[in-house]
Chain A
Amino acid sequence: MTYIAKPKFHHPGLKKNELGYTHRDYEGKISTLCAGCGHDSITASIIEACYELSIEPHRVAKISGIGCSSKTPDYFLGNSHGFNSVHGRMPSVLTGANLANRDLIYLGVSGDGDSASIGFGQFAHSIRRGVNMTYIVENNGVYGLTKGQFSATADRGSKSKKGVTNTDNAIDLVAIALQLGATFVARSFSGDKSQLVPLIAAAIGHKGASFIDVISPCIAFNNHAGSTKSFDYVREHNDAVNRLDVLVGRDPIAVDYAPGTVQVVEQHDGSKIALRKIDADYDPHDRLGAMTFLQKHAAKGQIVTGLLYVDPDAEDLHAHLNTVETPLNTLEADTLCPGSAALDKLNASLR
């Protein structure tokens, strides 16, 4: 989080998207995170995904809690409103914001301390309610801002920078999200932009609770031998089930992958996810299968990445509550207030 704004000048030949925006229009302030922080790579992926989707930056609301990860919304989409709320409480604030105006895109950015400890409850309940959001956890398994304590996602047996061994079991947020009914569940690695960018883009297009757990190594406190959240460890143990492309349905869809290796998922907004399947047996529509797959690979010390589950017919909280299509924050007294005549009737019934 910084007050240092990026210089406004940019190369006149920068490529523009369908709305005429360049990458610069999706950037924010200069990051004050440590050089090499995985979170900055995630920031870059969010910028890329929003650029590719041709989203109007100001139609995004970016909401976070407290911590290194929660600072990052200041570093992307500088023309959108951000909300750095309180530790672990991003999900409730995002839920309220979403209820007020269903027309915006909601990006929830959180960390493992934020979502797996103090905000574990809020994470769980926002997922089970099906809030239409993209919930990204920048997961480094460590408390960076307070200098190196284990977080609840640190694997049992992994070591801190000071050599202390973690004796607690880890919380796997992906497994929890699957169990809670998230309708879009993915895991990725901050160092794998080619996988992460389309995942974020697909999640934004998904109508319902989208959850992406991004392993994001902490360069200062958790990038050493003995850590299971280091760059080296994740690269060595990454087992991707699929790679994907997101095809926004404005043009005819042309998928040029070989038959049998590509699965196309059409979403509510017309976008299509083309899944290039690396594991030929993996079915991203099978929640139970995803849970089993995840556990089996975790037992082998592997980190499964990719789009693990998607329900293309998902509904969101607004559908559950049957709310009007008009954003609630635009309704005024003429439509909200029953008026004095109704009150007179009510008074009469109370005598």
Chain B
Amino acid sequence: MSDKKPISSVNDFVVRFANVNGSGSASANEMFARAILRHGVPVSPRNIFPSNIQGLPTWYEVRVTEAGHLGARGGVDMMVAMNPQTWDKDVAGIEPGGYLFYDSTKPMPSTKFRDDITVIGVPLTAITNSTYTDPRQRQLFKNIIYLGSLSALLDMDPKLIEQLIGEQYKGKEKLLSSNVHALHLGRDWALQNLKCPIGLRVKKSDKVGDRIFIEGNSAAALGAVYGGATVCAWYPITPSSSVAEAFTAHCRKYRHDPETGKAKYAIVQGEDELASIGIVIGASWNGARAFTATSGPGISLMTEFIGLSYFAEIPAVIMNIQRAGPSTGMPTRTQQCDIIACAYASHGDTKHVLLFPEDPAEGFEFAAAAFDLAERLQTTIFLMLDLDIGMNHRLCRPLKWDDARQYDRGKIMTAEMLDEGRDFGRYLDVDGDGIPYRTYPGTHPTKGSYFTRGTSRDRYARYSEEGSVYADNMQRLVRKFETAQDLVPRPLQANAAKPSKYGVIYFGSTSPAMDEAIGLLEARGHQLDRLRIRAFPFHSSVASFLAEHDFVYVVEQNRDSQLRQLIVNENGIDPVRLVPIVHYDGSPITARYIAKAIGDHQDHLKVTPLRKAVS
């Protein structure tokens, strides 16, 4: 008997599924999330999985959030505990008053439960064993059966789930009917044997609107298709592999010549990350739009070539889907920990352009823009996603494309321009923006050819070890980086309702949690202005924002507050005025965490909460 009143909430709760990796639960769990979306209720799901193929624990969390909060919330209102291995931890993680759903085929001792939660047992194994003989069917349909039971418990419309099953198994009638049957096995058992619905309920709403549900990696890969990438070279590494796999799938769909069936793209799985970025650089040098996708350890390997890209001024796009480092770190856990490694990648004096999309929609936009930027600036552009955006489905605004848009191929000296007598020096700063003209190989029989090299050279690409020539070149590269400030996506600022001396800077996948945290902080009486950084180099508005506030919190998901380091380094600001708010255990940062960390600091500063001031 529970000594805590069961949680009662409509369209605002967290369900977590604890499964065993390889048990086939992923599709059932994802269907659960999609089914809630079909009710018109926003969801924010997250896959929490081990670096393993079969046997280790895996979790899938669905935050049901009519308010549309897409960051992780923290805490679990209902645990679907399907993994004996993690039982104790799973049960302990349930919020007081929450619910535990489990397979009750075998009785559990009372010590395995808690008094302050509601325990719901469904004999899943018994139901599946009595219905199916094939072991694999028993495993797979058990997942659909618990989905059916949950639909009854949470008051979900079974027709919407049937519709999803129908879409998934379109044309495969046998699979469709057997899945629907399993769904109703679980649903009917729950309706007949349990008190349905429980306190947590899904009620039809209209809060999803026209938003789409897509993984960041897939959206970024689509951005590469729309952005005109024709060459992709990659080496498998979690969590970035699905970028190249999605790019392959998108290209197969959109990029085959209808008449010949031939591919208007080339994808090579390199032998390693070094070869992958080498292929990208070779292709870009020769005028194709090329990219690679990798994660932190891959960036480490690519840094030699990244230096070449910077110094020899060759376009390249690298999609870095960050994971927890250093070294192998936690390959399947999220972080934003490659900021410094990418901003200054390679030896010598280098600076690189970083783009920080907050969600799949920006992942798509920034990926496409990255190719324009790479060619315009003739340098490496990093698209900085992370596992939390990359490998999870996110609700985001629909992807948009302007059909009038043409690719910005940057400064290309053509044969006609050469014939006109234009002075071509590969590293001449003709326009004062630090960006020189380049020619593609094969342009002209007698003009425009040059030797590309990573060694120092003069403005006409002639090898030189003269100190003044080297310094002149390095200064031009600084000018080019300054030019980049106005080409990259600008920061977005949102001010508090009342003027505030305090600000917060954040970026990337932290955004939804930050957006929600602002509300929690306001409820606690703290007002903060917000600046979401979307790119490095920092736009001048970052310096303005810093100047306008006494203290600025920098929220990020790494140990050493790397964005803060970059801001201090690039803006010459007193570090004391930048307060690090860091989260780095590999789980996505939550609004609760941010609000507590900033709120406690604000209290520490003895800021009088506005609420008290008013009263």
Interface residues of A (CB under 8 A from B): 1-3, 56-59, 61, 63, 73-74, 78-86, 89, 91-101, 103-104, 121-122, 124-125, 129, 317-318, 321-325, 328-333, 335-340, 342-344, 346-347, 350-351
A53 to chain B, nearest CB (A): 16
Contacts of A98 in B (CB 8 A): 282
A61, B286: Cβ atoms under 8 Å?
yes
A105 to chain B, nearest CB (A): 9
B228, A337: Cβ atoms under 8 Å?
yes
Q: Of A83, A96, A97, which one neighbours B233 at CB under 8 angstroms? A: A96
Q: Which residue of B lies closest to A125 (CB)?
A: B271
Contacts of B233 in A (CB 8 A): 92, 96
Is B99's CB within 8 Å of the partner chain A? Answer: no
Interface set, chain B 224-256, CB cutoff 8 A to A: 225-226, 228, 230-231, 233, 254-255
Q: Of A3, A61, A74, A343, which one neighbours B401 at CB under 8 angstroms? A: A343
Q: Of B275, B288, B463, which one neighbours A3 at CB under 8 angstroms? A: B463
Query: With A99-B283, A343-B401 given, is the CB distance from A84 to B271 under 8 Å?
Result: no
A332, B228: Cβ atoms under 8 Å?
yes
Q: Of B266, B278, B401, which one neighbours A321 at CB under 8 angstroms? A: B266
Interface residues of B (CB under 8 A from A): 37, 208, 210-214, 222, 225-226, 228, 230-231, 233, 254-255, 257, 260-268, 270-272, 274-288, 290, 304-305, 308, 398-403, 405-407, 439-446, 449-455, 458, 462-464
Task: Report the separation of the CA atoms of residues A118 and B17 in the bound assembly, to the nearest whole angstrom.
Answer: 48
Query: With A125-B275, A321-B263, A340-B400 given, is the CB distance from A96 to B286 under 8 Å?
Result: yes
Known: A330-B287, A351-B213. 20 other contacts (CB 8 A): A58-B445, A59-B442, A85-B281, A85-B308, A86-B305, A95-B278, A96-B281, A96-B282, A97-B282, A100-B285, A100-B290, A101-B287, A104-B286, A121-B275, A325-B262, A329-B288, A329-B440, A336-B255, A338-B225, A338-B254
A255 to chain B, nearest CB (A): 33
22 contacts between A and B (CB under 8 A): A63-B282, A79-B445, A82-B449, A82-B452, A84-B452, A85-B308, A91-B278, A93-B278, A95-B278, A96-B278, A96-B283, A96-B285, A98-B282, A99-B268, A101-B287, A317-B266, A323-B262, A323-B266, A328-B231, A329-B440, A342-B254, A351-B208
Contacts of B263 in A (CB 8 A): 321-324
A58, B407: Cβ atoms under 8 Å?
no
B260, A324: Cβ atoms under 8 Å?
yes
A204 to chain B, nearest CB (A): 15
Contacts of A82 in B (CB 8 A): 449-452
B401, A339: Cβ atoms under 8 Å?
yes
Q: Which residue of A lies closest to B228 (CB)?
A: A336
A332, B406: Cβ atoms under 8 Å?
yes
A-B contact count (CB 8 A): 235
Task: Report the separation of the CA atoms of residues A81 and B439 in the bound assembly, to the nearest whole angstrom.
Answer: 9
Task: Report the separation of the CA atoms of residues A340 and B399 in the bound assembly, to the nearest whole angstrom.
Answer: 9
A83, B266: Cβ atoms under 8 Å?
no
Contacts of B439 in A (CB 8 A): 81
Q: Of B214, B226, B274, B290, which one neighbours A350 at CB under 8 angstroms? A: B214
Query: With A99-B283, A122-B278, A328-B288 given, is the CB distance from A84 to B455 under 8 Å?
Result: yes
A328, B265: Cβ atoms under 8 Å?
yes
Task: Report the separation of the CA atoms of residues A93 and B309 in the bound assembly, to the nearest whole angstrom.
Answer: 12
Q: Lowest 9 CB-CB distances: which A-B pairs, in order?
A: A96-B282, A92-B278, A100-B288, A329-B287, A81-B441, A96-B283, A100-B286, A96-B279, A93-B282
Task: Report the separation of the CA atoms of residues A343 and B610 in the bound assembly, to the nearest whole angstrom.
Answer: 46
Contacts of A104 in B (CB 8 A): 286, 441-442
Task: Report the separation of the CA atoms of residues A342 and B455 in the bound assembly, to the nearest whole angstrom.
Answer: 45
Contacts of A323 in B (CB 8 A): 262-266
Contacts of B402 in A (CB 8 A): 340
Contacts of A338 in B (CB 8 A): 225-226, 254
Q: Of B260, B403, B445, which one neighbours A57 at CB under 8 angstroms? A: B445
B279, A99: Cβ atoms under 8 Å?
yes
B262, A340: Cβ atoms under 8 Å?
no
A21 to chain B, nearest CB (A): 9
B451, A101: Cβ atoms under 8 Å?
no
Q: Of A97, A335, A344, which one neighbours B264 at CB under 8 angstroms? A: A335
Task: Report the separation of the CA atoms of residues A101 and B288 in the bound assembly, to the nearest whole angstrom.
Answer: 8
B281, A93: Cβ atoms under 8 Å?
yes
A297 to chain B, nearest CB (A): 31
Q: Which residue of A lies closest to B230 (CB)?
A: A328
Task: Report the separation of the CA atoms of residues A124 and B270 in the bound assembly, to the nearest whole angstrom.
Answer: 12
B213, A1: Cβ atoms under 8 Å?
no
Query: With A322-B261, A339-B401 given, is the CB distance from A96 to B212 under 8 Å?
Result: no
Contacts of A331 in B (CB 8 A): 228, 230, 264
Name the residue in A85, A98, A124 with the highest tally of chain B Cβ atoms < 10 Å from its Cβ: A85
Query: With A122-B271, A323-B263 given, is the CB distance from A97 to B308 under 8 Å?
Result: no
Q: Of A63, A84, A129, A336, which one neighbours B268 at CB under 8 angstroms? A: A129
Q: Of A58, A129, A328, A346, which one neighbours B449 at CB under 8 angstroms? A: A58
Task: Report the separation of the CA atoms of residues A95 and B260 in the bound assembly, to the nearest whole angstrom.
Answer: 24
